[in-house]
Amino acid sequence: MADEAVVHVEKGIERHWKVADATAIAKGTFMVQTSTDRTAIAHSSAAATQYPLGFATSEKAASDGQVRMSLQTTGIVRVICGATVARGELAIPHSTANRFQSTALLSLTDISKVVGRFLDSATAGTPANMLLRLG
């Protein structure tokens, strides 16, 4: 995976979620909810069914026996932008895995995907600090 966030720029609340044992997950991977209760997978698209859960706070190797993972849900994280963003704008997942964009006009789908607020202005492919507000 690429474009993982830098977690714990300013540590916040962490919550535990189920993950698949066979899956490798890099620290900083943005995780979303699956159709299975309390189960997280790596963000892969902007599909309406992918609701934000947080960022992986540690590495997980494939088939390591680990089936629970801690996700950072609040605090400040450094993320990669998928489009140009401005300081103060609300952040939602981009269609590229582990990237984020701003939303100017919120639809009902966008409201459920808001993950926080950008603290910096940035262009596509560059990092920005984001105030994470999940849970």
Structural domains of the chain, ranges and CATH numbers in brackets:
6-73 (no CATH), 75-133 (2.40.340)
Instruction: Give the DSSP H or E segment for 110.
Output: helix 108-111
Entry pTM: 0.89
pLDDT mean over 102-124: 85
Percent of the chain with pLDDT over 70: 90
CA–CA dist 63, 20 (Å, integer): 8
- Binning pLDDT at 50, 70 and 90, where does residue 42 land? very high
* Alpha carbon separation from 23 to 15, 31, 86 (Å, rounded): 19, 13, 34
**Distance from CA of residue 31 to its chain's centroid?**
5
Cα of first residue to Cα of last residue in the chain, in angstroms, is 25
Per-residue pLDDT at 1 exceeds 90: no
- Binning pLDDT at 50, 70 and 90, where does residue 70 land? very high
Which pLDDT belongs to residue 126? 96
| Residues 85-110 pLDDT 10s | 999 999 999 888 899 999 876 676 67
**Distance from CA of residue 110 to its chain's centroid?**
14
CA–CA dist 101, 22 (Å, integer): 30
